Chain A
Amino acid sequence: MTETGQRVRRRRTARTFWSFVAPMALGVTIFVLTPIVWGLTLSFSSAQTTIRPTRFVGLANYLQILSDPAFRHSLVLVVVFALLIVPGTLALSLCLALLVNATPWGKGIFRTIFFIPTACSYVVASAVWRMSLFNGLPTGLANRVAGWFGQDPVAWIGQLDPPLYWFVLVTVRLWLQVGFYMIIFTAGLQEIPQELYEAARIDRVRNVFQELRYITLPLLRNTTISVAVVCLIGAFQAFDEFYNILGSAGGGAQGNLSLAMPPLVYLYSIAFRGQNYGLGSAGGFVLTIVIVVFTLVQGKLLGLNRGQNN
């Protein structure tokens, strides 16, 4: 083939390729890359009541947001939240997957029941949790059940001490997402070859717990890691349930949100209520760094186990 023929063909391939990929590349450029660059620019600029950077201010936004006790508190809060949510979700969703897998009949029904909260939104679940289940009045369901055991009604949401709102916030997220991760674990379980269990039985691995310890859990490691990563990133970006369970009329960071404000709610309030987009963007990048660090630390922890077990 001649040199020019090759070049013509190469150019035609490039044209075909871009006819397929251009819409995605263009969209990602506009709606993902531009915001990242614009956000970085904003974070180093003064941009109040305007989305355009007006003046370069160096690290001022970063220094301001890092010295803000409310923001630092929100970071601590979301770390605690993630520490409750990630192990809780891993344990519960794995348990559900194992339980459903162990049933001789009715697998489909149970799986549907545990999976169906995936269809519910955080807003609707928040309404149920706040208005009915954990209503602070004696008529709230949790208080009614407590009443049967002779307990006085408690304010689940509205008080700092004891911080019962943690229970409300953690259970709503668990209910909404545990079934989702159960499905992922179920897929992981189905990939474990049955012969391994038979071989183990010959090697005197008899009870369920030994099977779990020596076969199931080690072979689910990759599934566990990916579930933990998605779950962690999700927890760090918690917004909906905090905003809707702790929020109040008028929106923003009033009412019970002063008890527990995660970073995204805080950024929402400074960017869209306070109209300080420079500060909001700086906070966004700080949060990104925190998420990346924790994801790496978690990966390291889960990866270290691998070294010990082998």
Chain B
Amino acid sequence: MARTTDAHRRRAGRVGRRVALYAVLIGLSLLFLLPYYIILRNALSTRAQITGFQWVWFPSHPDWSNLADLLHASSPVLRAMLNSAVIATVQTVAQLAVAATAGYGLARIGYRHANKVFLLLLGTLMVPSAVTFVPTFAVVAALGWINTLLGIIMPGVFSVFTMFIFRQAFLDFPRDLEEAGRLDGLGPWGVFLRVVLPNSVGVTVALGTISFIWSWNGFLWPLVVGQDESTWTIQVALSTFLNSYNLNLPGLFAASLLSVLPVMLLFLVLQRHIAQGVKMSGLKG
């Protein structure tokens, strides 16, 4: 008898603990989703509904005109979105290409000084990039790339960190596969392009999505180099609207919603890869 009450109590304790756990998790989830809900609500509300004294949870007649106003040919928001798409895509692809080839060279080509070159490159990670943004601006200005997309893209292409991750991945690559490629008459580049890369899709997608999101969301560098409206990224455009004298509140949130959508889609589709990429980035120091 005593034993059953004991078991009962233990089970009740476990159930109670689970209820508490889920209560905490659901509460936190609502808190974490709140900002996204605010973006959506504000984007579909009128100014009066957003700032009205009566709190409106969700407009009964969503105001799609905020979004529609952004979607015309001469819209600065669309222009900025396009700039961001070009910058993030080119930067990501170029970064992967440069980092993967260098990573492979360092991992597999038995050059005498490979280690010295590797350590020299790795040493540059010691200097925080945002701290050198003034002299990097000087270099980009000397190249005549101020107010060009190229100026925004190029300094972000050469990521020693991405190279480092690729090198680690290639060090673990099965040598037998490479050997088989060599027996088929492939040179080092052939082995790299036809054997190693096709079998390294996981790490490439992981690093690529992370890089794309960081590039899309980046703010300081595009603000410094792309001051002209024609080179605004979506983040610079949003910041300019946010800090303008005659702020269009629903318009700001409609544009925010538009800017978040592509990344959100990418995020939900590739979440597993992104998580993988984050785990690898966790090594960064």
Chain A: residues with CB nearer than 8 A to chain B? 10, 13-14, 16-21, 23-25, 27-28, 30-36, 38-39, 42, 51-52, 96, 99-100, 102-104, 106, 110, 112-133, 137-139, 141, 144, 175, 179-181, 183-184, 187, 223, 226-227, 229-230, 233, 236-237, 239-240, 243-244, 247-251, 264, 267-268, 271-272, 277, 280-281, 284-285, 287-288, 291-292
Contact = CB atoms under 8 A, between A and B. Distances in A.
Contact of A23 (B53, B101, B141, B279): B101
A25 B121 contact: yes
Interface in B202-253: 213, 216-217, 219-220, 224, 235, 238-239, 242-245, 249, 252-253
A285 to B, nearest CB: 8
Majority SS at the chain B contact face: helix
B278 A183 contact: yes
Given A14-B111, A38-B139, A291 B131 contact: yes
B267 interface: yes
B283 interface: yes
Nearest to A178: B32
Contact of B216 (A121, A243, A271): A121
B64 interface: no
Among A31, A99, A230, A248, the most chain B Cβ lie within 10 Å of the Cβ of: A31
Interface in B161-217: 163, 188-189, 192, 213, 216-217
Given A244-B242, A284-B135, A24 B142 contact: no
B131 A284 contact: yes
Nearest to B154: A31
Contact of A16 (B106, B188, B252, B283): B188
B242 A123 contact: yes
Contacts of B71: none
Contacts of B55: 139, 144
Contacts of A272: 137, 224
Contacts of B130: 237, 239, 264
B102 interface: yes
B243 A247 contact: yes
Contacts of B158: 24, 27-28, 31-32
B134 A33 contact: no
B12 interface: no
A20 B104 contact: yes
User: For the side of the interface on B, what is the size category?
Assistant: 35 or more
Nearest to B138: A51
B125 to A, nearest CB: 9
B128 A226 contact: no
Contacts of A16: 105, 109, 111, 188
A251 B244 CA distance: 9
Given A125-B35, A244-B243, A17 B111 contact: yes
Contacts of A251: 243
Given A14-B111, A230-B285, A127 B25 contact: no
Contacts of B119: none
B132 interface: yes
Given A117-B35, A239-B220, A264-B130, A123 B235 contact: yes
B157 interface: yes
B255 to A, nearest CB: 9
A239 B134 contact: no
A119 B135 contact: no
10 contacts: A16-B109, A24-B102, A32-B158, A113-B32, A114-B29, A118-B213, A119-B266, A124-B259, A237-B131, A284-B133
Contact of B53 (A14, A52, A139, A267): A139
B134 A133 contact: no
Contacts of B32: 113-114, 116-117, 175, 179
Among B160, B259, B271, B285, the most chain A Cβ lie within 10 Å of the Cβ of: B285
A184 to B, nearest CB: 4
Given A99-B24, A110-B29, A237-B128, A123 B285 contact: no
B109 A119 contact: no
B31 to A, nearest CB: 8
B263 interface: yes
B34 to A, nearest CB: 8
Interface string B23-66: 01100110011111011001000000011110100000000000
